[in-house]
Chain A
Amino acid sequence: MSTAEGSNSAEGINTAESTRTLVVERVFRHPPEKLWRALTESPLLAQWMMNNDFEPVVGRKFQFRAEPAPNWNGVVDCEVLIVDPLQRLSYNWGVGGSESGLQWVVLWTLTPAEGGTHVRMEQSGFRPDQQAAYQGAKYGWQKFFGTLENVIGGLE
């Protein structure tokens, strides 16, 4: 039985105001409690994401591990940033090592919806809870993606 309506799925790369964020959202016909378990219980998480040693504790460092791919060792280095039961979960998403690699932030937001739960995944280039401290990095990447958009637009 299918539980998600096609019309409820959405994704996009927002470029408004020089910010660049990847958003994927969907309404699941399941209660938030169940989604929270799938997002935060390591063995369940492994079944739909990747093998992991996740624990829902702020500051917890963990890894997702997938099959290595060319030029990627299959490891995502993460640190838990927000645990707001049944509502919000956020972690760093680091690929390629902390020095030369890329740091993203993944933010999950659960909202009760009619007959289920609206799930929003946002992948962005800064920490949602530390915007002031990371203003520099945020400005750098987001401004860059804005510029990138213009450059790519100029190619066509």
Chain B
Amino acid sequence: MPAVADVVFRALADPTRRAIFEELTRQGEQTVHALTRYAGVSQPAVSKHLTVLKRAKLVRHRRAGRETHYRARPDALAPMVDWLRDYGTFWRDRFDQLEALLERMEP
């Protein structure tokens, strides 16, 4: 799995992080407080999730006064989409090898 896709997949493997990311793509920019209300987990937990999403470049943040605002970076999903396409290639290659094996096997 390509390194970038791996980071994105891992970041989104967690349902809460996925929910936070989805909420940001739906609602646009949100404060940590708003996201905490939405996610239904503690604010430190949300902050931790946001850090993972940030590391995967799935969100960016800006500070305004005492609030930190987060927004989604949907273009960061591109490696994931590519990776899913690559899996199509993976299986097609395997099918070709399966076909070659069937030819070699006794009837």
Task: Give A contacts to B, CB under 8 Å.
Answer: 1, 3-4, 9, 11, 13, 20, 22, 24, 26, 28, 30, 34-35, 37-38, 44, 47-49, 69-72, 95-96, 100-102, 119, 121, 123, 136-137, 140, 143-144, 147-148, 151-152, 154-155
Contact = CB atoms under 8 A, between A and B. Distances in A.
Interface in B48-107: 74-75, 77-78, 80-81, 84-85, 87-88, 91-92, 94-95, 97-103, 105, 107
B93 to A, nearest CB: 9
A144 B77 CA distance: 12
Contacts of B14: 100
A75 to B, nearest CB: 12
Given A37-B105, A48-B97, A154-B74, A22 B1 contact: no
B40 interface: no
Contacts of A95: 1
A100 B101 contact: no
B1 A96 contact: yes
Interface residues of B, number: 37
Contact of B102 (A34, A49, A72): A34
Given A72-B1, A148-B77, A148-B81, A26 B95 contact: yes
Contacts of A102: 9-10, 13
Given A22-B84, A72-B1, A121-B91, A38 B102 contact: yes
